[in-house]
Amino acid sequence: MRIFRIISEGIQALGANKLRTFFMMAGTIVGIAALTVIMAMGKGTEKKVMQLVNNFGINAIMVNAGGGKGLSGPQEGITTLTLEDLEAIRNQVPGIEAISPAVMKGGASIKAGAAQTQAIIFAVEPEWYDAWDWYVQNGDPINAEDVSTMGRACNLGTTLSRTLFGDANPVGEYVQIENTRFLVKGVLDSRGMSPMGGDMDNRVLIPLTTGMRRFLNQDYINNIRVKVKDPKDLTEIGEKIRGILHDRHHITPPQEDDFAIATAAIAAQTARGISGTLSILLIALAALSLIVGGIVLMNILLISVSERVKEIGLRRALGATQSDIFQQFLAESMTVTLLGMLFGSALGWGGSMLVGTFIKAPVVISWEPFALSVVFSLMVGLFFGIQPARRAARLKPVEALR
């Protein structure tokens, strides 16, 4: 009961000067609001990263033509990967569930009637669907006959299908890819965004032979997709693939690789790196706001102690101990920061909703920001309230009453 009485007295003292109390809370409100928004965006980013990783495939390896580190998309015009490399990997590396090459061309003109847009062309084999765990939702996939006959059949991504045909079913219709007419055999399932931030559904699939010989006129491939049976073997299989390509391409250290190998872990690292620097900056600003708010709180409380000297002396004369005075002012400090935490959390949650609605940034509202806000507010109130509370407690009753 004693602690409740002390808190009650502290609240009454704060209520006597509402404007001063608000200024003491302001720093905490801003800091907690910023922390809440940052954590909501961080959670949203983490969720988006996991979605991107799932889109990439947790049991997948991408071998892209061209050197480089980290995750990079397929590069056009790089001739360092061939179908012979694909067959060597297929025959020499155990633990592979599916493997498929692809040839790509970005920014290709796609027409259907009066509608026209640009999309990425991927020339693939039938095993591509299993390698990507990505299948058609409507119609039929590219099959072995399409590949063997260099057929002019295609599958559309959902974004491309909507752009060209709206809500109509495109299966059985024709599209013009660059200057060549293709029959739409099927529409792919929606996949969403890639780890690099591109729309994976804005694509068209055509048979590999059609792309290499008849359409793009090239004898090299842009990437190889490898799906492994056990995700635990990703690193080992990746190194085996690297070794095979080193031998075939006559690469010896310190020569740089003329290919790049990426896994889901690299995809996740790349995606997180996009927002990492900004998150660190925002967290630093939130921490700075809390520190500044704590300094303002301490200085206003010190002024309050000077103005309430007679009140402190009277309470001491009536029997209040140094501990009572210390606890009262410390309670006032912590009450201010807790009230600031409540207002800041409400402001932060509202701000997070606005960010998610208008800026379209990924946000996830959870309990963690509130729990951390309570802890940080208590720490700020305790740390910056000790000095004013000690000064008040050390006042001598006789000198205070004068």
Q: Which tops the pLDDT comparison, 112 or 377?
A: 112
Quick check: 339 pLDDT over 50? yes
Q: Are residues 252 and 284 in the same domain?
A: no
pLDDT tens-digit series, residues 187-202: 999 998 776 667 899 9
CA angle 159, 161, 109 (to 5 degrees): 85
Question: Is 65 inside a domain boundary?
Answer: no
Is the separation of the CB atoms in 305 and 392 below 8 Å? Answer: yes
The span from the CA of 137 to the CA of 141, in Å, is: 10
Q: Are residues 317 and 396 in the same domain?
A: yes
Question: Is 183 inside a domain boundary?
Answer: yes
Q: Which tops the pLDDT comparison, 100 or 271?
A: 100
What pTM was computed for the model? 0.64
Give whole-number Cα distances, 192 to 131, 359, 387, in Å: 17, 19, 55
The span from the CA of 80 to the CA of 346, in Å, is: 56
pLDDT tens-digit series, residues 156-191: 999 999 999 999 999 999 999 998 999 999 999 999
Task: State what percent of residues in the chain have pLDDT above 90.
Answer: 37
Q: Are residues 248 and 101 in the same domain?
A: yes
The span from the CA of 28 to the CA of 151, in Å, is: 66
pLDDT of residue 402: 59
Task: State what percent of residues in the chain have pLDDT above 70.
Answer: 84
- What does residue 225 show for φ and ψ, rounded to 5 degrees? -100, 125
What is the average pLDDT across 320-335? 80
In three-state secondary structure terms, 135 is coil
Q: Which tops the pLDDT comparison, 344 or 49?
A: 344
pLDDT of residue 276: 59
Question: Is 269 inside a domain boundary?
Answer: no
What is the average pLDDT across 357-385? 78
What is the average pLDDT across 60-87? 78
Question: Is 69 inside a domain boundary?
Answer: no
Q: Are residues 245 and 279 in the same domain?
A: no
pLDDT of residue 1: 45
Question: Is 360 inside a domain boundary?
Answer: yes
| DSSP characters over 318-374 | TT--HHHHHHHHHHHHHHHHHHHHHHHHHHHHHHHHHIIIII-------SHHHHHHH
User: What's the domain count of the chain?
Assistant: 2
Look at residues 196, 228, 257 and tell me which one is the last residue of a structural domain.
257
Question: Could you list the residue range(s) of the whole structural domain that residue 354 is in?
Answer: 2-47+275-401
Specify whether the backbone of 336 is left (phi greater than 0), alpha (psi in -120 to 50) or beta: alpha
